[in-house]
A = this chain, B = another copy of it.
Amino acid sequence: MATIVSPPHFSPVEDAENIKAACQGWGTNENAIISILGHRNLFQRKLIRQAYQEIYHEDLIHQLKSELSGNFERAICLWVLDPPERDALLANLALQKPIPDYKVLVEIACMRSPEDMLAARRAYRCLYKHSLEEDLASRTIGDIRRLLVAMVSAYKYDGEEIDEMLAQSEAAILHDEILGKAVDHEETIRVLSTRSSMQLSAIFNRYKDIYGTSITKDLLNHPTNEYLSALRAAIRCIKNPTRYYAKVLRNSINTVGTDEDALNRVIVTRAEKDLTNITGLYFKRNNVSLDQAIAKETSGDYKAFLLALLGHGKQL
């Protein structure tokens, strides 16, 4: 369930005009911007951006970038972007880091539907004149490259049909490779990157039934490297998205100085999907609500905006 609250009736033209007014004159009226954009759903934001372009011949994103700054600017721009463009941007930023942020790429590849992933790849190609897998493959090497390139390039079957026999035999393949009985992880990468989410869940369940421990626990017993940690992240995303996101949020808040990139990414990409479930689990695990934790760790307009996406604050 979504956390954001949006009005049933709204006027994209009025919203665009109110945002423009908030940007004009001396100083910017950030409160007005938050109470509008923080309370509009995907479809509404799309219409506002279109209206803004038509009235002022300027991209709303450019306007916001020039008026705002810091984490607030980054969060609200992510929020206004169309999801495929947003995913393309997140993937590109992850790739631009001195050591690519593999977990962001894993998260995007695992959490998007096959069609959404195609849309993100299309947006990436359009924005950067390269394909996502092209940039990824040229920035990585070895097992981590094999895993990630295969994962972002997949267009998986996403129906309900599963094959129990296959789940059993492939659980054994994963077990052998993870326990180091094989020379490489070729088959693990094949299974992870090509089997459907439903089939993978069946494989992970069979794994636990047969061997008594979960695959993620078995992976924890390894000396870690970037490939194994990406693999583990992928398995956690597929097994239980809610738990995965709750953990990312906790890590982003509990780190020294707060990891705002991770915080923005999860709040912005999940606020219209399953953030209610994630905040529920967050509370259970941490004995403090996500809203309180965010209020404590952040400040100013940035705080007000994140809380708006969590369903707080007044809407205009």
Contacts and interface: CB of A to CB of B under 8 A. Distances in A.
Contacts of A131: 154-157, 194
Nearest to A125: B157
A13 interface: no
B133 A157 contact: no
A194 B154 contact: no
B194 A129 contact: no
A122 interface: yes
A194 B155 contact: no
Interface in A143-172: 145-146, 149-150, 153-157, 159, 161
Interface in A181-203: 186, 190, 193-195
A147 to B, nearest CB: 12
B156 A155 contact: no
Contacts of A157: 125, 129-131, 134
A148 B137 CA distance: 15
Contacts of A122: 155
Contacts of A159: 129
Contact of A194 (B137, B141, B193): B137
A39 interface: no
Given A131-B155, A131-B156, A138-B190, 6 more contacts: A114-B125, A125-B155, A129-B157, A133-B154, A134-B156, A153-B153
B153 A155 contact: yes
A118 interface: yes
Contacts of A193: 133, 137
Nearest to A142: B186
A121 interface: yes
Contact of A118 (B129, B134, B155): B155
Contacts of A132: 155
B129 A155 contact: no
Contacts of A155: 118, 121-122, 125, 131-133, 153
A174 B101 CA distance: 28
Nearest to A141: B186
Contacts of A145: 186, 190
A106 B189 CA distance: 22
A192 to B, nearest CB: 11
A161 B129 contact: yes
A169 to B, nearest CB: 11
A40 to B, nearest CB: 31
Contacts of A150: 133, 149-150, 153
Contacts of A190: 137-138, 145
14 contacts: A121-B155, A129-B157, A131-B154, A132-B155, A133-B154, A133-B194, A137-B190, A137-B193, A141-B186, A145-B186, A149-B150, A150-B150, A150-B153, A153-B153
